[in-house]
Structure 1
Amino acid sequence: MTALPEDRSRPIGDDDRDTAVRRLQEAYAEGRVSHEGLDERLHQVLTVKTRGELASALASLPEEKAITTSTIGAASGRIKRRGAWRVPRSLKVESAFGRVHLDLSRAVIEHSAVDIELQLGTGRAKITVPRDAIVEMEDLTTGWKDVRYKPPQGSRPGGPRIRISGAMGYGRLKIRHARR
């Protein structure tokens, strides 16, 4: 089965633009793009409107590495991450009966977006996100209990986008923003 060709006239979104900026920054850090070339391409990426124009701005860069998913799992017991831990671009958390606590408030987040997939049976889960993070949960299904999340009042833009998806059976998910 062959893939359908991408519509190069389709408009780009913020995620596409953020990904392109990150790719340019990585290419500059690796020495593949000069300082002047970086400035020129960043201007181009920030002003283009379509996928075709974006593709031409990134034409000579190496292909983007496929996103790999890191998995944290436990049949029972606790899963806990806090402090200055490195958050992968895509994280899957699997727990049948335990508690899960992910504290991203002091974690090293190198990506503009982080995808967290929860596969939880019973037990509670708590996720603490950075103060300026944007939380999305449209792809999360819950069984018995609901999700407790209150977006902050007047949050500053510019933080990472935390996308939470997956399925929860009988536990409750609590998401809160760090106070500092």
Structure 2
Amino acid sequence: MPDKARPNEMRASNADRDAVVQRLQEAAGEGRIDFSELTERVDRALAAKTYAELEPLTADLPSGRSADPGEPLLLKGGLHGASRTGRWQVPGQISAHGGMGGVTIDFTRTDCRLPVIDLEAHGQMAGVTIVIPEGWAAETTEMDPGIGGLKDKTTPEREAGAPLIRLSGTGGMAGVVIRHPNAWERRKLRRLS
């Protein structure tokens, strides 16, 4: 089995290239780069094949996302369970412990401006369920499936500017599930919007 590529050697997607182009356009609008430099960098971004080729194009620019990562959030399922749903402020770090009651984290109605959210999940006895909007992506390589396992039901396509959930922790006895909204949840979201 071949070794995994280092993160910056991984192939870039259309969404990754689009996100860099968007940031470059914002930087030009802010007066940070001139038109000729914008054109040159956009051409390089559109031709980039790996993250290593994309990273230098915005390395000298401040992040276009002026979001406060906030205080870390800790959710403990305990005996009765815990959930974070509806509209809520998403911090940069979240820790969820399923306990005996389970934990549900629903990001579908949040307005998150963070590029990356580090989420440490421990399924324990009742599990952790994470629901992310379509267009968001999940990175689950740091997750230990434990006995209960990890069920990643997300699609790999990430929209330009959409957050990435970087999942770590362990599945424990009941496991961890990360997914997009199911049909019932999508109907409910349409009614709420």
Q: TM-score, normalised by structure 2?
A: 0.60
1:127 Cα deviation from its structure 2 partner: 0.9
1:137 Cα deviation from its structure 2 partner: 0.7
1:51 Cα deviation from its structure 2 partner: 6.9
Relative to structure 1, is the Cα distance of residues 75 and 103 closer, same or farther in structure 2, using a 3 angstrom cutoff? Answer: closer
1:91 Cα deviation from its structure 2 partner: 1.4
Relative to structure 1, is the Cα distance of residues 120 and 71 closer, same or farther in structure 2, using a 3 angstrom cutoff? Answer: farther
Q: What is the DSSP-based 3-state SS (H/G/I as helix, E as strand, rest coil) of the residue aligned with 2:72?
A: strand
> What is residue 80 of structure 1 aligned with on the other side?
83
Number of aligned residue pairs: give it: 158
> What is residue 29 of structure 1 aligned with on the other side?
none
Residues in 2 aligned to 1:50 and 1:162: alpha-carbon distance in whole angstroms = 20
The code of the aligned residue for 2:31 comes to G
Residues in 2 aligned to 1:162 and 1:86: alpha-carbon distance in whole angstroms = 15
- 1:132-175 CA distance string (max 9 Å, x none): 111111111122112223334x9563332111111231112222
Relative to structure 1, is the Cα distance of residues 36 and 69 closer, same or farther in structure 2, using a 3 angstrom cutoff? Answer: closer
- Asked if the contact 2:69/2:114 (under 8 Å) is kept, the reply is no
- Does the alignment pair 1:117 with 2:111? no
> What is residue 132 of structure 2 aligned with on the other side?
129
Percent of aligned pairs with the same residue? 22
Q: TM-score, normalised by structure 1?
A: 0.63
Q: Which runs of 4+ in 1 moved over 4 A?
A: 33-36, 44-55, 64-69
- Does the alignment pair 1:177 with 2:173? no
CA RMSD in angstroms comes to 4.2
- Asked if the contact 1:116/1:164 (under 8 Å) is kept, the reply is yes
5+ residue gaps, structure 2, are 1-7, 46-52, 187-193
Relative to structure 1, is the Cα distance of residues 75 and 129 closer, same or farther in structure 2, using a 3 angstrom cutoff? Answer: closer
1:74 Cα deviation from its structure 2 partner: 2.5
1:75 Cα deviation from its structure 2 partner: 6.1
> What is residue 98 of structure 1 aligned with on the other side?
101
Residues in 2 aligned to 1:102 and 1:50: alpha-carbon distance in whole angstroms = 32
- 1:90-138 CA distance string (max 9 Å, x none): 2122343331100111112111221111134211211111011111111
Is the deviation greater in 104-113 or in 71-80? 71-80
Is the deviation greater in 91-100 or in 131-140? 91-100
**Larger helix proportion, structure 1 or 2?**
2
